[in-house]
Structure 1
Amino acid sequence: MRRLVPPLIVTAVILAVAVPTTCNRGAIARAKADAARLTSQRDSLLSVVGERERQQAALTIQRQTHEADITRLRDSAIALERRRAAAQLTVRQIRTVGALQDQLRAAAYQTGYQTAFTSYQDLSKRHIAELSKPRIGLGSALRLLGAMGLGVVVGRALP
Structure 2
Amino acid sequence: MINHSWKTSADELSTCPPAPQSEDAPLLVLEQQFTELCAELESLRRTSVQVGREAPEQPEGELSFRQRPTDEVATGQIEAILLRLYPIEHEIIQTPSSTIVGLGVKARHAAYVTSQYWEEDLGRLDWEAKAIRGLIEAICAVAGVALSFRHSEVDE
TM-score bracket for the superposition, by shorter chain length: under 0.3
Rg (Cα) greater in structure: 1
The normalised TM-score by structure 2 is 0.24
Higher RCO, Cα 8 Å, sep 6+: 2
